[in-house]
Amino acid sequence: MTEEDVATLGPRELSAHYRALADTTRLRIMRALWQQQNGTVTDLCKELRVSQPLMSWHLRILRRAGLVTTHRTGRQVHCRVEPSIIRENGDLLGRFLSSGTTNEPSYEPARRTG
């Protein structure tokens, strides 16, 4: 995305950006990609404990919103955060993605008793 593309973003494109970021898993994916700079889908699945089909679904939403780019090398799909998105969405998103802390509760599946 170039500076000219950013200037021509309309309500539909901006809405897609924020809808894509409105999901906790996609925010975690964005943070992991920002910290790794160039991760593979396999690495993301392991790190975030997300199945490959679910990861692909989330990445498709992020790609369509222009937040993430992907390229294939053999069987591996490499992903990275689109750098212009940080400029476009400001310092707040950059600080969140760079932070090592999580403000979300950890998820543990309920265990059956009895």
Say if 73 falls within a structural domain.
yes
This prediction has a pTM of 0.67
Say if 5 falls within a structural domain.
no
Say if 108 falls within a structural domain.
no
pLDDT digits (tens, 9 = 90+) for 42-51: 999 999 999 9
Say if 70 falls within a structural domain.
yes
More confident of the two residues 18 and 56: 56
Residue 67 confidence class, pLDDT cut points 50, 70, 90: confident
Relative to beta strand 39-40, strand 76-81 is antiparallel
Say if 62 falls within a structural domain.
yes
Q: What does the chain come to in residues?
A: 114
Give pLDDT, residue 59.
92
Residue 95 confidence class, pLDDT cut points 50, 70, 90: low
Tally of domains in the chain: 1
* SS3 of residue 11 by DSSP: helix
Say if 4 falls within a structural domain.
no
Residue 106 confidence class, pLDDT cut points 50, 70, 90: very low
CATH number of the domain within which 23 lies: 1.10.10.10
